[in-house]
Amino acid sequence: MTRIRFQQSLEDLKENLLVMAGLAEQAIQRAIEAYRVRDLSICDLVSRSEIAINRLERDIDQSALDLLAMEQPMATDLRFILSVIKINADLERVGDAAKSISDRVRNMEQMAAAELPVDIPRMASLAADMVRKSLQAFIEADAEIARGVLTMDDAVDAMNRSAYKALTKVMEEQCHLAPQALNALMICRSLERVADHATNIAEDVIFWVQGADVRHHKNIAAPKDAQPMT
Amino acid sequence: MSTEYQLRSRIRAVTDHTVTALAVLATVIVVTPLVAIFIYLLYKGASSLNLAFFTQIPKPPGEPGGGMANAIVGSAIVLAIASVIGVPMGIGGGIFLAEFGRGTKLANAVRFTADVLNGVPSIVMGLAAYALVVIPQHHFSAFSGGVALGIMMIPTVCRTTEEMLLMVPNAVREAALGLGIPNWRSVLAITVKTASPGIITGCMLAFARVAGETAPLLFTALGNAFWSTSLNQPIEALPLQIYVFALSPYDDWHRLAWAGSLVLIVLIVLAVGLVRYVTSRGVLKGVS
Amino acid sequence: MGVGIEVTNLNAWYGTNHTLQDINLNIPANHATALIGPSGCGKSTFVRCLNRMHETNPVGRVTGTVRIGDLDIYKDVKPVQIRRRVGMVFQRPNPFPTMSIYDNVAAGLKLNGYSNKRTLDDIVEKSLKNSALWDEVKDDLKKKSGASLSGGQQQRLCIARALAVDPEVLLMDEPASALDPVSTSKIEDLIFQLKSQYTIVIVTHNMQQAARVAEKTGFFLNGRMVEFDSTHKIFTNPSDKRTEDYITGRFG
């Protein structure tokens, strides 16, 4: 096999992206945990890991740029590097979302506890699941797992919509709970964003593995055998 | 390590100088006879050169004056005939060998014949021309002399032409083929033209060789003491005249022979130089 | 205007060496088609079958059909005639060394019997302009020999020479491989401009070059054509693993 150095560079790029993915996933898990147990020290951990994530984002983009300029990658290699660049950006946003959630938790710490008609832990676990699965699809270069992630996005969107309705009703009928409801709404929005980023990552994996651009299509089937979405 | 390196360097330098000196020596050894002959001829023959030499035919021994005008003219005529016979056939043969018959059995036979012909002694060539031309015609002639010399030119011209044509890079032939130029046209207009400096050199080599041949003319042109420009009559030629005069017992004729030798060499050098000059003007300069 | 080329069941031999096996493809008119593949894969042989140069080799043999336009070039016409319609530019520039620039460009016409001087002047000028060489040599047309130009200029001269006979197809066998990057870029720009008037087939070792100039690309391997598709597809998502391996440099 020729181009050993190049192959090694691609492996290194993958490794670095997985490190970053680990940090982003951990940040989300921690943010959700912080919400569940109202622990401010966990919020601090999330803020600190944000710095590491940002640094990694810059490094990965730089490595990818170097590979594009120096190695003239083609076909699979080219698609891989392009996917890495895009997944990189999505992971950084996931990190941002985690920080946003932890900021909301900090905010809520200063308010009275309230019972709200939203199941944030369930939505959170769904979103985190999507992130985990999309990263698994990346690690295993498996387009089928990635397609699985795409179908999960609808559930999260539905939950976000119903949360919006429920929380708006709370704000209208129980004005004293408005700050808590608003915070909860913003947390739901962040979680919905996380799910969107996981979807993007899954689409990028499909692009890399199959060379098919499945973004913004309701029909998520493979290029040759069209299967309408149920 | 350093001293060993220095020692090797010295040995290398000495070897280099020695071999260079040997090469120069070899060149000098090769050139010396040529220069020596020329100087000697000048010494012996220059004094006998005068206008009469170039304008008069030989006078009977004892009478002052006389020259080799008829021999000079005769040589020119015989060599012209030889060239007309030898050059086209030689070049044609060379073109066949290099361009059209490469690898064929016929080509091998032609090449073999040319090589054999090259090795035939010149006197045997003269006898062949005697048998082929003089006997059927029942008389000696300038034409038969030309035939003898012409046939002698063929192998040299043919082989040199073949070699020069083979040296034309195949890329040039392919370029011509790629343009849809018919093969014969490409050979003549492009390949032969590219090789023409070398081909002309080959012709000159052959010309210079036969210009000084005496033996073939003994039984063909025969020699003629009088003015003659007719192709069907015996004719005089410089080498022939020199041969006869040198073997004669007369001092006058000896002096004429020395002068004739000098003139012969000078004329050959001039002829070759003229051809070189004329053709170098025709071939474009500026090859990178 | 260019014409399309249709190749059916083409097989070629050098003596007993079966150099090309069962080649089938359609080269579109007025496009540039690139042929890539490792050394010895048969792409040069293939191109030489398109203008019947392969058979000039004493042990070269061809079977199959090649249709250029509406002509079966192995049945309907003589080789000399087809080579006037299918021009060729070689890897190493090969201008005729004894001829001036003008004579080089006009050689294909003059040596085919064409002699109208005024039209010759026009054709020479047009060909040199089409090959982006006119401005550099217009003052020295008859004074300078073809061989006195630089490598890149010589290659453009050869292109002009090929264009002067007004072919419909232009075959280029690694035309820029002996040239420096600047000359290479000039030749590539040239191919881009010529595409609209001629059908161009370019053999190249340089995949980036194929990607830059050609709409369609064919990948040859061991005498067979493995994949033939749009350049975009071949270089972003080829269908055959062997193509992928070659393009990404995993073998070669």
Q: Sheet harboring C199-203: ordered strands across?
A: C86-89, C169-173, C199-203, C32-36, C216-221, C224-230
Task: Classify burial at A182, counting beta carbons within 10 Å of its beta carbon; exposed 0-12, middle 13-18, buried 19 or more.
Answer: middle
User: Does residue C185 fall inside a structural domain?
Assistant: yes
Q: What integer is the mean pLDDT of A83-98? A: 95
Percent of chain B surpassing pLDDT 70: 97
ipTM for the complex shown: 0.88
In which band, very low, low, confident or very high, does the pLDDT at B106 lie, cut at 50, 70 and 90?
Answer: very high
Q: Tokens 């392969």 label which residue?
A: C54
Distance from C-alpha of B237 to C-alpha of B263, rounded to nearest angstrom: 12
SS in 3 state form for chain B?
CHHHHHHHHHHHHHHHHHHHHHHHHHHHHHHHHHHHHHHHHHHHHHHHCCHHHHHCCCCCCCCCCCCCHHHHHHHHHHHHHHHHHHHHHHHHHHHHHHHHCCCCHHHHHHHHHHHHHHHCCHHHHHHHHHHHHHHHHCCCCHHHHHHHHHHHHHHHHHHHHHHHHHCCCHHHHHHHHHCCCCHHHHHHHHHHHHHHHHHHHHHHHHHHHHHCCCHHHHCCCECCCCCCCCCCCCECCHHHHHHHHHHCCCHHHHHHHHHHHHHHHHHHHHHHHHHHHHHHHHCCCCCC
User: Does residue C252 fall inside a structural domain?
Assistant: no
Q: C interface toward B at CB cutoff 8 Å?
A: 51, 53, 56, 58, 80-85, 87-88, 90, 92, 94-100, 107-108, 111-112, 144-145, 147-149, 158, 161-162, 165
User: Does residue C139 fall inside a structural domain?
Assistant: no
- For residue C236, give the chain A residue with the closest CA: A75
Distance from C-alpha of C194 to C-alpha of B185, rounded to nearest angstrom: 29
Residue B159 confidence (pLDDT) above 50: yes
User: Does residue C55 fall inside a structural domain?
Assistant: yes
Percent of chain B surpassing pLDDT 90: 53
Q: Domain of C234: which CATH number? A: 3.40.50.300
Chains contacting A (3+ CB pairs below 8 angstroms) = C
DSSP state of A176: G
The helix (run of H) or strand (run of E) holding residue A123 is helix A120-140
User: Does residue C115 fall inside a structural domain?
Assistant: no
Asked if B157 and B87 count as a contact pair (C-beta separation under 8 A), the reply is: yes
DSSP state of A229: -
- For residue C49, give the chain B residue with the closest CA: B178
Distance from C-alpha of C106 to C-alpha of A177, rounded to nearest angstrom: 92
- Residue B285 at interface with chain C, using a CB cutoff of 8 Å: yes
Chain A residue numbers with beta carbons less than 8 Å from the beta carbon of C251 are: 1-2
Bridge partners of A159, per DSSP, are none
Mean pLDDT rounded to a whole number for chain C: 91
pLDDT at B282: 56
Asked if C141 and B282 count as a contact pair (C-beta separation under 8 A), the reply is: no
Mutate one of C44, C82, C96 to test the B interface: name it (highest B CB count within 10 A). C96
What's the domain count of chain C? 1
User: Does residue C108 fall inside a structural domain?
Assistant: no
**Contact between chain A and chain B (3 or more Cβ pairs less than 8 Å apart):** no
- Domain coordinates of chain B in residue numbers? 70-282
- CB atoms inside a 10 Å sphere around CB B280: 11
pLDDT at C216: 95
Distance from C-alpha of C43 to C-alpha of C203, rounded to nearest angstrom: 7
pLDDT at A226: 36
Q: What integer is the mean pLDDT of A31-45? A: 89
Distance from C-alpha of A198 to C-alpha of A187, rounded to nearest angstrom: 17
Residue B65 confidence (pLDDT) above 90: no
Name the amino acid, one letter, at B110.
V
Residue A223 confidence (pLDDT) above 90: no
Q: What integer is the mean pLDDT of A24-29? A: 93
Which residues make Cβ contacts (< 8 Å) with residue B176, sequence separation at least 6?
B186, B190, B191, C96, C107, C111
Mean pLDDT rounded to a whole number for chain B: 89
Bridge partners of C67, per DSSP, are C6, C72
CA-to-CA dists, residue A161 to A26, A123, A185, A190, angstroms: 26, 12, 10, 13
Q: Tokens 């080789």 label which residue?
A: C79
Percent of chain A surpassing pLDDT 90: 64
In which band, very low, low, confident or very high, does the pLDDT at C252 lie, cut at 50, 70 and 90?
Answer: low
In which band, very low, low, confident or very high, does the pLDDT at A220 lie, cut at 50, 70 and 90?
Answer: low
State whether C112 and B194 contact (CB < 8 Å).
no
Q: Tokens 């021999």 label which residue?
A: B71
- One DSSP character per residue, A142-166 reads -HHHHHHHHHHHHHHHHHHHHHHHH
Asked if B176 and B158 count as a contact pair (C-beta separation under 8 A), the reply is: no
Mutate one of B179, B183, B184, B281 to test the C interface: name it (highest C CB count within 10 A). B179
Which among C208, C244, C249 is the nearest to A3, CB-wise? Answer: C249
* Structural domain harbouring C19: 5-96+168-247
pLDDT tens-place string over residues C62-116 = 999 999 988 899 998 999 999 999 999 999 999 999 899 999 999 999 888 887 8
Q: Which CATH number fits domain B70-282: 3.10.20.30, 1.10.15.40, 1.10.3720.10, 3.40.50.2300?
A: 1.10.3720.10
User: Does residue C34 fall inside a structural domain?
Assistant: yes
Topology of the domain covering A4-210: Methane Monooxygenase Hydroxylase; Chain G, domain 1 (1.20.58)
Which among C248, C251, C252 is the nearest to A77, CB-wise? Answer: C248
- For residue C100, give the chain B residue with the closest CA: B284
Residue scoring higher pLDDT (B285 or C9): C9
Residue scoring higher pLDDT (C206 or A223): C206
Asked if A166 and A114 count as a contact pair (C-beta separation under 8 A), the reply is: no
- One DSSP character per residue, chain C reads ----EEEEEEEEEETTEEEEEEEEEEEPTTSEEEEE-STTSSHHHHHHHHTT-GGGSTTEEEEEEEEETTEETTTTS-HHHHHHHEEEE-SS----TTSBHHHHHHHHHHTTT---HHHHHHHHHHHHHHTT-HHHHTTSTTTSBGGGS-HHHHHHHHHHHHHHT--SEEEEESTTTTS-HHHHHHHHHHHHHHTTTSEEEEE-S-HHHHHHH-SEEEEEETTEEEEEEEHHHHHHS-SSHHHHHHHTTS--
- Domain coordinates of chain A in residue numbers? 4-210
pLDDT tens-place string over residues A210-219 = 988 888 765 5
In which band, very low, low, confident or very high, does the pLDDT at C177 lie, cut at 50, 70 and 90?
Answer: confident
User: Does residue C145 fall inside a structural domain?
Assistant: no
3-class SS of residue A190? helix
- For residue A77, give the chain C residue with the closest CA: C248
Residue C135 confidence (pLDDT) above 80: yes
